Each structure stands twice: as structure tokens, then as C-alpha cells.
Structure 1
Amino acid sequence: MGAADWSILLVAALAAGWVDAVVGGGGLILIPALFLVAPTLTPQTALATNKLAAVAGTSAAVVTFARRLSMNWRLLVPAGIAAACASSLGAATVSLIDKDVFVPVILVVLVGVALIVTLRPNIGAVTDAPPATARRLVTVVLAAAVVIGFYDGLFGPGTGTFLIITFAALLGTEFVRSAAMAKVLNLGSNLGALIFFASTGNVLWLLGLAMAVANVAGAVVGSRMALTKGSGFVRIVLLVVVLALVVRLGWQQFG
């Protein structure tokens, strides 16, 4: 690759880190950029190299959120491990899934997310609602870790977005805290998929590490902006990313 190609990928990794830290969906930017610069890449190699950058970015986002928010590590760490295991399993079963059936299902779910966020303006906002019971909290977080973690290894786009909307809708947490919780689980799912892809020799390490540096920078800026600007800002970015995911997946499936 030439200097222009490297520049495109580093800028894309920076933008992906920012988006991923705020609402998830960084793969929406970085994976198409990889195929733009290197159209002969296999899907496994593109996904694997993206995961290397994403692990670095989500790690930085977790650290940034943890410095400003109290985090339930006794729950989130086991949930992150569960997400890693589920994601590895998802990555291992990629070849067994018929994407022509799978993608339309994801499109329907994304449209549903957009409708929920649009029609329920109070979702993810700071409210006086009582906190979820301990049992409900554990059930929702662990179920999300397994189900959405599996999806991340299997397919990937919008994993952080699905986690955020799950926590906001089912636990009543506001968007900033939902994003912080989502980053811990997303770190686990990214790491699980990366370990599997690395074991199969699909990671472009030099390129991935260079993109990881840019991804970290974007993630730090994005997480700080989410903390500073609050849930209203996250809600707007969430809607934009969901609509972009719908357009991209729709074009990929039907275009």
C-alpha cells in the first residue's frame, strides 16, 4: 500500500474509534475502508484486522469511562468473559450461517431500534426511575453478553449499538452509563473474536497495530465527548449510526 492508502485507513480508524466509543458501530467505517484500499482481502482478514484495532480502541474507552463513572466490575468482568467466549464461538461458526437469511433479520432489528429511540424520547435520558433489581441486572447483562457477543463474532456491525439500546430499554440506564457498560462487554467480544481469528492466521498485524493507535485516539476523544455532552448527544449519534447501518446493510443485501 502507498502513503495515500495508509492515510485513508488511519483516518478511518480514528473516526471508527470515535463512533465506537460513543454508540458502537465503528466497523461500519473501518471495514469498508479496508475493502476500499485492499479489495482483494478476504472477509475473514478484514474482520480480523478490524478486531485488532477495535480491541485497542475499546480498551481505551473502558479506561476513560471508568475514570469518571462507577462501574459494577463484579458483574461486568464475568459478563465480558462470557462475551469473549460467545464471540469466539460466533467467529468459529461464520461459515455455517446463510447470510442471505441473516442480514434481513438484522435489518429488521435495526429498524426496530431506530423506532424505539425515535418514539420513546425518554429512553436513555436521566430519569427518577428506580434502579433495576439485582436479579434483573444480572440476567439482562449476562444474556446480552452471550447473545450479542455471539453476534459480534459472527457478523459484527452495530454490536455496541445493540448493547446500549438493550441496557437503556431493559434496565432504564441512561445512554452514557449504557455506553460505558457496553464498552466492557464489547471489549470482551472483540478480544474473543480476535483470539479466534489470530489462531487461524487471518490478522494483518502491522496494519492492525497502526490502525489500533489511531483507533485509541478516536476512542479517547469519543468517550470524553459522551461524558461531557451527555445522553442527548449520544442519542443523536445513536440514531445516525443506526440509520447508516440500515443503509449499508440494505445496499449490501439488495443493491
Structure 2
Amino acid sequence: MTQPAMFLAHGSPTLAIEDNNYTQFLKQLIQQLPRRPRAVVVFSAHFDSPVQAVSNDDVHETMHDFYGFPEEMYGIDYPAPGDRELSKQIGDLFADNNLPYEMSSGRGLDHGVWVFLRTLFPKADVPVVELSVDSRRSPAEQYAIGKMLTQLRQENVLVIGSGGLVHNLRLLDSGASSPADWAVEFDEWIGQQLQDWNLRMLFDYERRAPHVRKAVPVYANEHFAPLLYAMGAADDERRAVKLFQDYQYGSISLNCWVFGGTVSK
């Protein structure tokens, strides 16, 4: 059975120590997949590089790439194994499609990866390969890179894009009791294009989506990019299902979209 591709919002780093509706959802998410994946490949918003990077470690270190958070956050260790064979396979797929890439060793997993993997796989016993995104590429190019990895899903590899569809730290409202209207409108517009698999509109989202500069500010568009990489990995099926939606601080969108494959809702 083919694994889906997936977009997961990673929210605030404190997601790693929180108990809320989203973390409860994540704890059950693996049970909704057709089977336990043999490995996970993650395009992370926090690994933005003009050259496609592929992690290539036996065991990943844990990056604490944030500041000003509770002290316990800096003591968290998530020593997930890598998979050098899978890393090589991914590199070969990129090379076959004329995409320059480089192997990346010793960097570790950034919080855009381990924060939610720690909830999905608390024993850190599933191999992980982290991939960079390039926020300067066009949406069509980002989608095309994800498409290069389509066959991995048939080999029981879960492909995930980790970011945030609405991610503007300058508009956070810690006292908000409900999400901002503009954030909901943007999410709903994106959701409609995903369900329709309307690539023409999605690739032009920066001109067409409502409230786009509030939702995806220029300084943070790397958080939107993983959606397109993950979506491309399911180009063979072109089916999108939303499994979860919530908000933090009035506008940080916490959502899970799955593309292709088989999931139970």
C-alpha cells in the first residue's frame, strides 16, 4: 500500500512540550496511515538553501535553533537514525532529473523536523532524511522537485513538508480567543485550490490569494514552500484531504494535509 505525502505545520517549538488538540492529533496520526513507514523524508522550512541538500548521517544530532524559550526545550534530544542508502537513492533521483544537490553531514535535525517527529515517533526509531527547501525558487519548481520523489511513497517512505501556511510572527496575538478572519480566509482559499488540485492558481498564489502578504510575508515564505514540495510528491494521484485545522496566537495556522495514498479519517 502506497504511503501518502503530507504537509504538517510545525507551529511554535513549544509544540514539543505542549498538550493540546494538535499534539493529541499528532499522537494518533500514524495510526491513520496504511502502515508504519520504514523511513521519513522531511522538507523543512528551517533548512533554506539555494542548493538542494540531502542529510547523510548515521545518527542525527538535535538542533536547538531557537532562543527565548523554556529551559527544558534546550535539553530535549531526539537522536533519530539516518539512512545513508535512502539518502543516496534520493541523490540519484535528483541527479536523474538534472537537479544539482549536495550531501549534508553533521548539521543535525532542526526544530522544523524533530518537534513533530518526537510526537509521531517518540522512540526516535524511524530513520529520517532531512531535505532543504529553496524559498527563492518558483512554486512550479518547488512542486517539480517534490515530484522527483514520487516513487519513494511506493517503497513505504513517508514524504513530509514541514512549515506553516499562515506564519507571520509580527502579527501574533497571544490573547486571541479565536483566529483572525484574514488568516482563516487565506487558509480556506489555499484549501480550495488543494482540493481542486488547481496548480495554475496555487502557482500564482502570491497574486491571487486573499491577505497573502499577511499570511506569507516576504521574509518568511520558506514556511509556505514545503506545501508545494510535499504536494509534488503525490503528483501521480492528485488528491488532497485535510485532516486537521486549528490556530495558535490568533493566526499561526496548525494544519495537516495529506496527498494521495490511503488514510483513515
Report the TM-score, using the length of structure 2 for normalisation.
0.27
- Larger helix proportion, structure 1 or 2? 1
Report the TM-score, using the length of structure 1 for normalisation.
0.28
- Larger strand proportion, structure 1 or 2? 2
Q: Which has the higher contact order (CA 8 A, sep 6+)?
A: 1
